[in-house]
Amino acid sequence: MLDIVERVKDMYKVEEMKKGIRVYGVKDFNPKHVFECGQCFRWNLNPMGHYCGVAGENYAEIKYSDGVLEIIGSTKEEFYTFWLDYFDLERDYSKIKGELSLKDEYMRRAIEFGKGIRILRQEPFETLVSFIISANNNIPRIKKCIENLCRNYGEKIKDDVYAFPKPHNLANVCENELSDCIKAGYRCNYIVEASRLFVEQPFSKESFQKIDIANARRFMRQYKGVGPKVADCILLFTGSYYNAFPVDVWVRKVMTNLYNVSTHKEIDEFVQEYFGSIAGFAQQYLFYAIREGFLKVEVT
């Protein structure tokens, strides 16, 4: 851990308090943008107007104002060993936004709208299962299914707060029981099957280190319930490939409308060329701005 502290000492000052920590010098961060851009499902506004949620085995409350990030529920050690990476705090988002803003006016406006987005580096298994559930589903229901899943099969962290279930706990579950508990319908079969494969054949950022995105996509699609879109969500939101570009109905509309590319293959070839290695960030800025209704697209 000391090497991490040494590495980021010029970037952030971390102060420990009674209930949590304060991190000074945090730029390009807006909790609303981070937690509501569609990349995660376990963070919610509390009555105080702050986002609370679970990541890994950690429960926290997040506040941000004026370059100061407060993580209630975290120690200094947990910050260096977990949250620093989770929030991708060592990446220069200003540079990414600068590069993408030069592409076109539409992109520039999307970034202006979601300028506080950071792509979380989430846990592989949780991301896999969450985005299997996301298919042909809406966000409020996705969140309910996942909360039910954690409540029934996850380890209790504290009062009424549960961690995401471990792979082996979902691999051994009866499909009908799972369906009764989480109400995810036909996706329950996918969840059990995918969990079983994950136990045998897990993946992580590290395991993808030596293969290109095409092979990573092929690998991901072995899991039942993982198609092209879900595969890219997992690769992007685990921080494995930042040129992953999930194409859903909304993003497809923009791509067709604005850039005149329509098939999945066409779209991917275009964005890899146009946005390059930071295509995934572009996707998030676009998705958030469109879905929130800030940017309009012709409905086809």
Partner DNA sequence: ACCCAGGATCTAC
Partner DNA sequence: GTAGATCATGGG
Binding to DNA by residue 226, rule CB under 7 A?
Answer: yes
Binding to DNA by residue 242, rule CB under 7 A?
Answer: no
Binding to DNA by residue 129, rule CB under 7 A?
Answer: no
The window from 12-20, 76-84, 157-165, 183-191 that contacts DNA (CB under 7 A) reads: 183-191
Binding to DNA by residue 136, rule CB under 7 A?
Answer: yes
Residue from 106, 219, 250, 270 binding DNA (CB under 7 A): 250
The window from 46-54, 57-65, 161-169, 241-249 that contacts DNA (CB under 7 A) reads: 241-249
Binding to DNA by residue 224, rule CB under 7 A?
Answer: yes
Contact call for residues 130 and 146 (beta carbons, < 8 A): yes
Binding to DNA by residue 280, rule CB under 7 A?
Answer: no
Binding to DNA by residue 190, rule CB under 7 A?
Answer: yes
Which tokens go with 62?
């997040």
Binding to DNA by residue 183, rule CB under 7 A?
Answer: yes
Residue from 17, 139, 174, 211 binding DNA (CB under 7 A): 139
Binding to DNA by residue 122, rule CB under 7 A?
Answer: no
3-state helix, strand, coil in the chain (%, to 5): 50, 10, 35
Binding to DNA by residue 229, rule CB under 7 A?
Answer: yes
* Gap between the Cα atoms of 220 and 144, Å rounded: 25
Q: What amino acid occupies position 26?
A: V
Binding to DNA by residue 294, rule CB under 7 A?
Answer: no
Give the H or E element holding residue 72: strand 68-72
Q: Segment 30-49, which members bind DNA (CB under 7 A)?
A: 37-39
Find the angle CA(264)-CA(252)-CA(267) to the nearest 5 degrees.
Answer: 35
Binding to DNA by residue 141, rule CB under 7 A?
Answer: yes
Residue from 228, 253, 266, 274 binding DNA (CB under 7 A): 228
Least distance in angstroms from the C-beta of 173 to DNA: 15
Q: Which is nearer to DNA, 52 or 194 (CB)?
A: 194
Cβ-based burial of 203 (10 A; exposed 0-12, middle 13-18, buried ≥19): buried
* Gap between the Cα atoms of 148 and 272, Å rounded: 37
Q: Which is nearer to DNA, 41 or 80 (CB)?
A: 41
**What are the C-alpha distances in Å from 171 to residues 30, 153, 206, 244?**
36, 11, 23, 28
Contact call for residues 208 and 184 (beta carbons, < 8 A): no
Binding to DNA by residue 116, rule CB under 7 A?
Answer: no
The window from 5-13, 24-32, 136-144, 198-206 that contacts DNA (CB under 7 A) reads: 136-144
Binding to DNA by residue 246, rule CB under 7 A?
Answer: yes
Taking CB atoms within 8 Å and a gap of at least 24, the contacts of 92-99 are 93/27, 93/28, 93/117, 93/118, 93/281, 94/27, 94/28, 96/278, 96/281, 97/28, 99/278
Contact call for residues 173 and 166 (beta carbons, < 8 A): no
* Gap between the Cα atoms of 279 and 171, Å rounded: 34
Binding positions for DNA, rule: CB under 7 A? 37-39, 134-141, 179, 183-186, 190, 221, 223-231, 233, 246, 248-251, 283-284, 287, 291
